[in-house]
Structure 1
């Protein structure tokens, strides 16, 4: 697999601005959820509730249930980080398609991960 971009605010903006492909965005979230691949998926670092629901990492762009689970895993105090930390005001009504809103959810989850793990925002 190709190397992942560094987890920083530039990467979050690239996700929001559609400058990183969907596969890479999925792989970033999988990585920080704990999924690793070496000939097969290793879930030993993945929280039990994710291991049970998704023994292999889900395609968050294609799967509404997986994205809902990802949204619910963001602590309430971190739900507005895109707005609070990055000033992201959301997409225009014409841009509100499932793919973009799911990417925004993934970006917010990654930003929440950064917040909770002391990664500079």
Structure 2
């Protein structure tokens, strides 16, 4: 009798300063941005292409978001991500990347939520005592969308 094997866990995309700056500059799809976080929260990719909370996903995340939280498109997921950043790490975006924030004309939910994601990723590294490399692999970078409210083709609408 053959034993069933679990699908291999998705390996998180390697982080680098260059990648995080591309996220802040809106040069990646919203889905790619979420895929930077989901495996780090122990969500697992299932056979249908959906990320679901796995056994190692914390109870809070698993109960609130049983399947792939949309950190850019949906406010509740973004708020939960913000709240999950320890107070000691709230300024890492400014301290490590020198990010001073967006100008008034650049303040759109998609962009501010991207800043939250990058800060969370920096906090995730800091909690593990891992350094942020200057460079690393990059996805195919997109041109920043002409309309930051709509985002890139295929990005979910903001709610």
**Normalised by the size of structure 1, how large is the TM-score?**
0.91
**Correspondence for 1:57:** 68
2:35 to 3, 6, 27: 27
> Is 2:34–2:71's contact at 8 Å kept on the other side of the alignment?
yes
2:21 to 3, 7, 13: 13
Deviations 1:44-91 (Å, cap 9, x if unpaired)?
121110000011021111111111110000000100101011111011
Structure that is richer in helix per residue: 1
Worse-matched range after superposition: 75-84 or 4-13: 4-13
> Could you list the runs of 4 or more consecutive aligned residues of structure 1 that deviate by over 3 angstroms after TM superposition?
none
2:91 to 80, 83, 106: 80
Compute the RMSD of aligned alpha carbons. Answer: 1.8
Number of equivalent positions: 120
**Correspondence for 2:116:** 105
Deviation at 1:5, TM superposition (A): 3.7
SS of 2:82's equivalent? helix
> Is 2:53–2:62's contact at 8 Å kept on the other side of the alignment?
no
- Return the alpha-carbon distance in structure 2 between the equivalents of residues 97 and 84 of structure 1: 22
Structure number, greater radius of gyration: 2
Deviation at 1:42, TM superposition (A): 4.8
Deviation at 1:20, TM superposition (A): 1.6
**Normalised by the size of structure 2, how large is the TM-score?**
0.70
> Is 2:92–2:123's contact at 8 Å kept on the other side of the alignment?
yes
The gaps in structure 1 that reach 5 residues or longer are none
